[in-house]
């Protein structure tokens, strides 16, 4: 029993490094051998934590989800429901990508493109994470509409689609073209979209 906390810390360290690697090279780029070499531990030691590559991939997804929750979701949920929370959710996502919390930008942007046409448990887990995010954005929009911050005719599903597209475009453009201005453009575009749907002038603006 005394060794268990250390084992859990070691496992967490392994999985955080795995998430960093996967954000750049994809989950298929993860192998026990690569992680062992990267962390300077034995392969046999890592096998004790993960019995298969698929198990490693799924555990890495769970770790990335926990980081995403801390970096993007929780800061937004600390804000009262309404339009300001919606803006905080978008801004936190851009901040998470811009700061390279994962070195490859948004972890889920990378693995979604990798597994979108591959059947199996990993694809199902990636799809579930993507759906959870879309539902959160949609629900946040709907809350703002019901609170009177957005016009009554706002289509929450459509607006969520547009906002997520702008977020992902900023992430992809910044990576492919090494263009940090993509985040400023995304913030400007998101605020313009929110202004068009808001029932009153916004009390916040682009801060970067």
So what's the pLDDT on residue 7?
83
Question: What local confidence, expressed as pLDDT, does residue 4 receive?
Answer: 56
Q: Would residue 112 count as lying in a domain?
A: yes
Of 97, 96, 98, 76, the closest CA to residue 88 belongs to 76
First to last CA, the chain: 49
Q: Is residue 202 part of a domain?
A: no
Domain span at residue 100 reads: 4-197
Give me the mean pLDDT over the 180-204 stretch: 96
* Integer Cα distance of 91 and 117 in angstroms: 30
Does 192 fall in a domain? yes
- Overall domain count for the chain: 1
CATH code of residue 82: 1.10.357.10
The DSSP bridge partners found for residue 198 are 150
Q: Which residues contact 42 (CB under 8 A, 6 or more apart)?
A: 36
Mean pLDDT of the chain: 93
Tell me the C-alpha to C-alpha distance, in Å, between residue 18 and each of 4, 42, 89, 93. 21, 15, 26, 21
Provide the pLDDT for residue 6. 56
Cα distances (angstroms) measured from residue 84 to each of 62, 65, 72, 103, 138: 28, 24, 14, 28, 14
Query: What torsion do the CA atoms of 32, 37, 41, 46 make, to the nearest 10 degrees?
Result: 0
Is 86 inside any structural domain? Answer: yes
* Domain contains 159: yes
CA gap 130, 88 in Å, rounded: 19
Contact 54, 40 (CB under 8 A): no
Instruction: Give the mean model confidence (pLDDT) for residues 26-51.
Output: 84
Question: CB 23: neighbour CB atoms within 10 A?
Answer: 24
Length of the chain: 208
Residue partners of 182: CB distance under 8 A and separation at least 6: 169, 170, 171, 173, 174
Q: What is the pTM of this model?
A: 0.92
* Residue 142 domain flag: yes
Secondary structure (DSSP) of 182-201: HHHHHHHHHHHHHHHHBSS-
Residue 206 lies in a domain: no
Higher pLDDT: 141 or 5? It is 141
pLDDT at 52: 85
Over residues 144-168, mean pLDDT: 98
């Amino acid at each position: 029993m005394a060794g268990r906390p250390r084992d859990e810390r070691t496992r967490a360290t392994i999985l955080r490094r795995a998430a960093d690697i996967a954000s750049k090279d994809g989950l298929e780029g993860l192998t026990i051998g690569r992680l062992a070499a990267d962390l300077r531990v034995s392969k046999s030691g890592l096998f004790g934590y993960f019995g298969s590559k698929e198990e490693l991939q799924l555990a890495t997804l769970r770790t990335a989800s926990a980081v995403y929750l801390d970096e993007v979701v929780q800061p937004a949920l600390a804000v009262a429901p309404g339009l300001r929370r919606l803006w905080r959710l978008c801004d936190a996502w851009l901040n998470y990508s811009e700061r390279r919390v994962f070195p490859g930008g948004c972890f889920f942007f990378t693995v979604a493109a990798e597994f979108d046409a591959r059947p199996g448990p990993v694809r199902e887990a990636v799809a579930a994470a993507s759906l959870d995010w879309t539902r959160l954005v949609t629900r946040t929009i709907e809350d703002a509409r019901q609170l009177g911050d957005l016009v009554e005719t706002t289509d929450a599903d459509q607006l969520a689609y547009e906002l997520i597209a702008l977020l992902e475009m900023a992430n992809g453009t910044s990576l492919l073209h090494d263009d940090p201005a993509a985040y400023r453009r995304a913030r400007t575009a998101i605020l313009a979209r929110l202004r068009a749907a808001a029932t009153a002038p916004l009390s916040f603006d682009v801060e970067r």
